Amino acid sequence: MMFYVIGWVAVGACAAIVAGSKGRSPVGWLILGAFFGPLATTAACFMPAVIRKEAPPTPVRRICPHCANEIAPSARLCRWCKRLV
Ligand SMILES: [Zn+2]
């Protein structure tokens, strides 16, 4: 009986590890793995990975060499002093 319980917990841990590596909740999958055993582990294996959307990179600003104001990185004309940069 004890061996059975340990095996069941190990299977739950496997589900948690697999789910965690795919960006899913390891705790939730540990519980699912404990309830459904190998079924949950198999489901976790075939589950697509969660793709986390990363925040868009903040546009890098540069400084106008003439007036020292911030200008867009692709700007050719300073919006403040109207000089070519
Ligand atoms: Zn300027």
What is residue 81's predicted lDDT score, i.e. its pLDDT?
A: 97
Is 7 a domain residue?
yes
CA of 71 to the centre of ligand 1 (A): 8
CA pair distance 80, 83, nearest whole angstrom: 8
What is residue 82's predicted lDDT score, i.e. its pLDDT?
A: 96
Q: Are residues 41 and 12 in the same domain?
A: yes
CA pair distance 10, 41, nearest whole angstrom: 10
Is 51 a domain residue?
no
Nearest alpha-carbon partner for 32 in 48, 43, 21: 43
CA of 66 to the centre of ligand 1 (A): 5
CA of 84 to the centre of ligand 1 (A): 8
DSSP letter at 67? Answer: T
CA of 63 to the centre of ligand 1 (A): 8
Q: Are residues 38 and 64 in the same domain?
A: no
pLDDT along the chain (85 residues), means of 10: 70 69 80 78 76 76 94 94 95
Domain range holding 8?
A: 2-46
CA pair distance 36, 16, nearest whole angstrom: 12
CA of 55 to the centre of ligand 1 (A): 30
Residues in contact with 1: Cβ distance below 8 Å, sequence separation at least 6, in sequence order: none
